[in-house]
Structure 1
Amino acid sequence: MTKAYPNNLTWEQWELIAELFPSPKPSGRPRTVSIYAVVNAILYVLCQGCTWRALPGDFPGWSTVYGYFRRWHKDGTWLLIHDKLYQWVRVAAGREPSPSEAAVDSQSVETATMISIDVGYDAGKNIHGRKRHLTVDLLGLVLRVLVTSASLPERQGAKLVLKRVHDTGNQVKRLHTIWMDGGYRGEEFLRLIMDMFRWIVEIVLRPLEKKGFVHLPKRWVVERTFGWLNWCRRLSKDYERLPQTSETFIYIAMIRIMVRRLA
């Protein structure tokens, strides 16, 4: 039994997702570790920003916790749980499971000193690191995320992350409009999105006379989601060796948000 850390799931929250994790293989060794404790340990790493080896001793061993994290990353378990909760949260909010509108934006974040894979320089934001391309519905819930080098242009990143959204199939069968800011302007790009996905792109321009934060209709929900992610210390920078691991931590952060809404 672990201590009651602030990031721990309650039993009611755990019951919502417990059956979505894979059962132990019949031919393998009997499972001796509590999956509930493993998931809480992973949430501890996400929320507190510590390394795997720095997990408190009342959690299962760090190598066991990391082993489950990596296994569920590779077999798609985290994405499966995320997508299930996504539909449940939308239905609980009185919406259709599939959104009709979505918004896209990117966020450049610094990488930790030891990270060297897919790292670049974003001249616009003056940041050396990686770029998170996010697609969210108008509730702020993530559809798909793509993490790349910070040097990748926004429009190219948007095309790639929208391809991931399109590939989810029935999950976005009602989607028809994508909201973006002025950084994505360009007739060729807008025509490309229409030709590839049959989606309309609406560009929301920032008023030139206003300084600081401006509440942009529809598109502001992406900024709010980035704010939610920043509450997780592991996501305040990019500490992951591979960008795919960064994407998984973002999905886990959204799992935590959605399960708290439901229970």
Structure 2
Amino acid sequence: MKSRKGKSAISRQTYPSDLTDAQWAILEPLIPPAAPDAPHLMYERREIANAMLYVLRSGCPWRMLPHDLPAWDTVYWYFRRWQREGVWEQILHALRKQVRIQHDRAPEPSAAIIDSQSLKTSAVRGPEKGYDSGKKIWGRKRHILVDTQGNVLAVKVTAASRSDQQGGKRMLELLVGLFPRIKLVWGDSHYAGDMILWLLQHLGWLTETIRRPVDSSSDQGTCDLATTKKENASSSGFRPLPRRWVVERSLAWITRWRRLCRDHEGLPASSEAFIMLAASRRMLSLLAPPFP
């Protein structure tokens, strides 16, 4: 394999985002061979994947890829090609099954958690942008569905102005027949009401709403003042909500990648592809840890 400087991939300096040999052995069968119309067939698929992971981790623009990696336009061509052909979804589902088996779970989940995250966008032009009046954010909203381990099942990116139910339906309507074992989905109060009936009718899923605990000390009445202060002190601070913390942790994992700390993509489909790439990279590290 040659790069733009004619160097071999082995001789170049490695980057922290590069795939290890063990990780590439897992990923290679999941990536389709180069198409006859693919540009620059001199590049190995492993280096194409390494370049995508470099962009994901560093957050750099495509045109600022280092010169010892494949040309940026070639990498972007493959990135969009694999997005249009559904390769990112196939990789995500295949790796998730392997991770679940590794943790002594059934390959397919029987329950899931849904949530959303609003975040700002950069100055890049593109569709699906709006204002989230609740979060006071102009940008886009990520809707994700995860299993009880936090592994991503599905993702959809919409304008931040869309409600959680609207975006959730756009994501879930594509999953009909995809996860037959799922019978229960958890979500916060934004997914109550009409969403409960919609999930039951379209997917056959039962819904359990996760609500924040009511602070009984707020209704003080004639309670003793010292007792009230003690209750307030014990209830203050961070308290993770059952089940919901799993999906919130998954959203935190996603935003750890610099490319995903805000939405830099012109197309929502590219944002979804990067999220699936980040989730797949995490699962590769679980299957083949970079350090023994």
Same fold, judged at TM 0.5 (above): yes
Distance 1:205 1:126 in 2: 22
Write the deviation string for residues 116-159 of structure 1: whole angstroms up to 9, x where unpaired.
41100000000000000010000000110010000001112122
Match of 1:249 among 274, 278, 283: 274
Match of 1:222 among 239, 242, 247: 247
Match of 2:264 among 239, 248, 253: 239
Aligned to 1:108: 118
Indicate if the aligned counterparts of 1:206 and 1:214 stay in contact, CA closer than 8 A.
no
Q: Report the RMSD for the aligned CA atoms in angstroms.
A: 1.7
Indicate if the aligned counterparts of 1:90 and 1:97 stay in contact, CA closer than 8 A.
yes
Match of 2:69 among 43, 59, 65: 59
Task: Find out whether 1:73 has 2:79 as its counterpart.
Answer: no
**Alpha-carbon offset, residue 27 of structure 1:** 8.2
Aligned to 1:88: 98
Distance 1:154 1:28 in 2: 39
The farther-off stretch of 58-67 and 109-118 is 109-118
2:94 is paired with a residue whose SS is helix
Aligned to 1:35: 45
Structure 1 residue identity aligned to 2:174? R
Distance 1:234 1:40 in 2: 15
Aligned to 1:180: 187
Q: For the pair shown, which has the larger CA radius of gyration, 1 or 2? A: 2
Pairing 1:98-137 to 2, within 5 Å after superposition: 98-137=108-147
How many residue pairs match? The answer is: 259
Indicate if the aligned counterparts of 2:117 and 2:141 stay in contact, CA closer than 8 A.
yes
Aligned to 2:161: 151
Match of 2:33 among 18, 23, 32: 23
Alpha-carbon spacing, 1:63–1:27, altered in 2? closer, same or farther (3 Å): closer
Aligned to 2:230: none
Indicate if the aligned counterparts of 1:7 and 1:47 stay in contact, CA closer than 8 A.
yes
Aligned to 2:211: 205
Runs (5+) with no aligned partner, structure 2:
1-8, 216-234
Runs (5+) with no aligned partner, structure 1:
none
Distance 1:214 1:242 in 2: 36
Aligned to 1:196: 202
2:209 is paired with a residue whose SS is strand
The farther-off stretch of 1-10 and 91-100 is 1-10
**Alpha-carbon offset, residue 25 of structure 1:** 4.0
Indicate if the aligned counterparts of 2:39 and 2:74 stay in contact, CA closer than 8 A.
no
| Identical amino acids, percent of aligned pairs | 42
TM-score normalised by L of structure 1: 0.93
1:178 is paired with a residue whose SS is strand
